[in-house]
């Protein structure tokens, strides 16, 4: 099954599968192959288009793990998934050696929070015609929420994306294989996050493939004073605003509810 990005269809649903012990919402729930596969089956039944699998938490304050540990967490679970389905798979990693090891499972997208800080990803993307998601992050997960500052959040992120797009094009990565993500919660204050949400159309003008990862994040919880398990309705409200402002890929923990929301898109 191939991943197809087209601007004339409703947004694509990217379902989250964290095989981590410490992710902010579902850490530790899907470490076993059987539980991970059950989660995948449910997402497929609920209408997911692509599954984003990550083995390294990027929550604020988290520390980087080794490539070996990341591969050890990912490989058995992806193998199990591939024995069941050919659903498009995205790998949430910033490491080229992790991707190189997982290519045998016919992955289609690299979801890179560091936006090609590992330049060895570039030849892999080109050779295997992979999609690449370039996310904006100020700092790194361990330090990113330590008083983030910008001259102008929208123009600063726009300049970042233009630079990264130029890097990709210079290295002959096809433009239609590139996705951009403004990185809600990655080196941003609450005010920064909502400025981004209100100005997504600005980023859409820079590049049409715009991914939004807003699901159950602290920008929802801080506003509503709710823990992650009680942030669904806030997430769906922010998702509607994202779609109205140009989002083409929705990364979510809640596939069924997001699919129902997207079915209402004609009346937005």
> Within a domain: residue 218?
yes
User: Which residues, given as ranges, of the chain have pLDDT below 70?
Assistant: 6-8, 22-27
| Number of domains present in the structure of the chain | 1
Alpha carbon distances (Å) from 159 to 86, 136, 181, 201: 37, 11, 13, 15
> Within a domain: residue 2?
no
Active-site option among 164, 217, 231, 259: 217
> Within a domain: residue 48?
yes
Using one digit for the tens of pLDDT, what is the confidence trace for 147-195? 899 999 999 999 999 999 999 999 999 999 999 999 999 999 999 999 9
- What is the reported pLDDT for 64? 87
- What is the reported pLDDT for 7? 53
What's the pTM?
A: 0.94
The answer to whether 16 touches 252, Cβ cutoff 8 Å, is yes
- What is the reported pLDDT for 54? 94
| 226 a catalytic residue | no
Tokens 């996310």 identify what position?
A: 135
Residue 24 structural domain: 12-267
> Within a domain: residue 93?
yes
Active-site option among 39, 164, 177, 251: 251
171 Cβ neighbours under 8 A, 6+ residues apart: 122, 126
What CATH number did the domain enclosing 69 receive?
Answer: 3.20.20.20
> Within a domain: residue 1?
no
- What is the reported pLDDT for 25? 63
| 39 a catalytic residue | no
> Within a domain: residue 195?
yes
> Within a domain: residue 5?
no
Query: How would you list the strands of the sheet with 211-213, edge to edge?
Result: 178-181, 131-135, 109-112, 89-92, 50-54, 12-18, 249-252, 211-213
Alpha carbon distances (Å) from 33 to 27, 68, 78, 157, 238: 14, 18, 9, 38, 32
The span from the first CA to the last CA of the chain, in angstroms, equals: 30
């Amino acid at each position: 099954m191939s991943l197809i990005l087209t601007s004339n269809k409703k947004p694509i649903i990217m379902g989250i599968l964290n095989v981590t012990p410490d992710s902010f919402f579902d850490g530790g729930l899907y470490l076993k192959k059987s539980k991970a596969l059950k989660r995948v089956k449910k997402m497929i039944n609920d209408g997911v288009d692509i599954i984003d699998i990550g083995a390294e938490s990027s929550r604020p304050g988290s520390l980087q793990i080794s490539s070996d540990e990341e591969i050890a967490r990912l490989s058995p679970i992806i193998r199990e998934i591939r024995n069941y389905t050919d659903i498009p798979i995205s790998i949430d990693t910033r490491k080229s050696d992790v991707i190189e090891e997982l290519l045998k499972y016919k992955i289609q997208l690299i979801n890179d929070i560091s936006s090609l800080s590992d330049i060895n990803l570039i030849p892999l993307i080109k050779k295997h015609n992979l999609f690449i998601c370039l996310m904006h992050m100020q700092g790194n997960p361990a330090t990113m929420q330590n008083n983030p500052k910008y001259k102008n959040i929208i123009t600063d992120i726009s300049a970042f994306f233009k630079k990264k797009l130029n890097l990709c094009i210079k290295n002959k990565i096809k433009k239609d294989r590139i996705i951009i993500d403004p990185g809600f919660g990655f080196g941003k204050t609450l005010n920064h996050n909502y400025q981004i949400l209100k100005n997504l159309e600005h980023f859409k003008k820079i590049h049409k493939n715009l991914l939004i990862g807003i699901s159950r994040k602290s920008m929802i919880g801080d506003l509503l004073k709710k823990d992650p398990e009680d942030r669904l309705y806030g997430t769906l409200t922010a998702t509607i605003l994202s779609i109205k402002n140009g989002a083409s890929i929705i990364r979510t923990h809640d596939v069924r509810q997001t699919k129902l929301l997207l079915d209402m898109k004609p009346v937005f």
